[in-house]
Amino acid sequence: MSRRAPGVILMDKGVVVKSPNFPDWNNLPLRDELETALRIPVVIENDANAAALGEQWRGAGRGINSMILLTLGTGVGGGIVLDNKIWQGADGMAGEIGHMTLIPDGRQCGCGNSGCLEMYASARGIVQSYREARGMLEVHQLSDMTSAQIYQAARNGEPIARQVMKDMGSMLGIGIANLINIFNPNMIVIGGGVKDAWDLFIGSTHEEIMKRAFQVPAERTEIVPSLLGDDAGMVGAAAGALQKIQSV
Ligand SMILES: [Zn+2]
């Protein structure tokens, strides 16, 4: 069973400290309560991290020890798998790749920071970039614009849409170059809805990577689309449970 529980989680204790979607969940011992109710061992995992493990176990990163998943959806999620294990960090909160600062005084992000990768490389970021590029006067006319319409416009050759997608690819490339220099992964896997626009952004992404990351790790790192799509989180949750059982 896979259920999403967004918020701050103490991974090792299985406690949900705070959850914006479930305001009543304050310091809820979710793992213990589920174990009591289900009478089976339960592992709690962040959905983006689980998706990374899923792609590494049975998806695009199969047979690869160290890879990083970026999920470009409404926001930008991420998960880091090093030597076959999710890198949890001291508080179980590592892998927040979408909140890497790219522009110090950039767009205000919901996380409290400004200029986060998520504000430029997500579906929402693409729509905002397009609106800005078309000029403020037209904003009201573009209020229902979707990212899919922008991809279509770019494929139809509309110059502004094409440039917006190239700029998005550049921002993604800057973020990935940072990841390559820090982690030297074998592979970067890109998932989420924005993956549908692969051909419109990936050239600019590669350009930035080659410009900014060290040559040897930059050339080694494969940049590939995800294979499991929405199932990655569920598959990864199963992988996490298996790892837990095998480590006991
Ligand atoms: Zn942020």
For residue range 218-240, what is the model confidence (pLDDT) as tens digits? 999 999 999 998 898 889 888 88
Q: Kindly give the distance from the C-alpha atom of residue 74 to the centroid of ligand 1, in angstroms, as a whole number.
A: 13
Q: Kindly give the distance from the C-alpha atom of residue 157 to the centroid of ligand 1, in angstroms, as a whole number.
A: 32
Burial-class residue 233 by CB neighbours within 10 Å (0-12, 13-18, 19+): buried
Handedness of CA 34, 38, 41, 46 (dihedral sign): negative
Q: Kindly give the distance from the C-alpha atom of residue 227 to the centroid of ligand 1, in angstroms, as a whole number.
A: 26
Q: Provide the whole-model pTM.
A: 0.88
Q: Kindly give the distance from the C-alpha atom of residue 244 to the centroid of ligand 1, in angstroms, as a whole number.
A: 31
How does strand 76-82 pair with strand 85-86? antiparallel
How does strand 67-72 pair with strand 15-18? unpaired
Distance CA 124, CA 185 (A): 28
Q: Kindly give the distance from the C-alpha atom of residue 76 to the centroid of ligand 1, in angstroms, as a whole number.
A: 9
Q: What is the CA radius of gyration of the chain?
A: 19
Is the model's pLDDT at 4 over the cut of 50? no
Q: Kindly give the distance from the C-alpha atom of residue 183 to the centroid of ligand 1, in angstroms, as a whole number.
A: 21
Is 183 in contact with 68 (CB distance < 8 Å)?
Answer: yes
Token output for 84: 């076959």
Q: Kindly give the distance from the C-alpha atom of residue 114 to the centroid of ligand 1, in angstroms, as a whole number.
A: 6
For residue range 160-204, what is the model confidence (pLDDT) as tens digits? 999 999 999 999 999 999 999 999 999 999 999 999 999 999 999
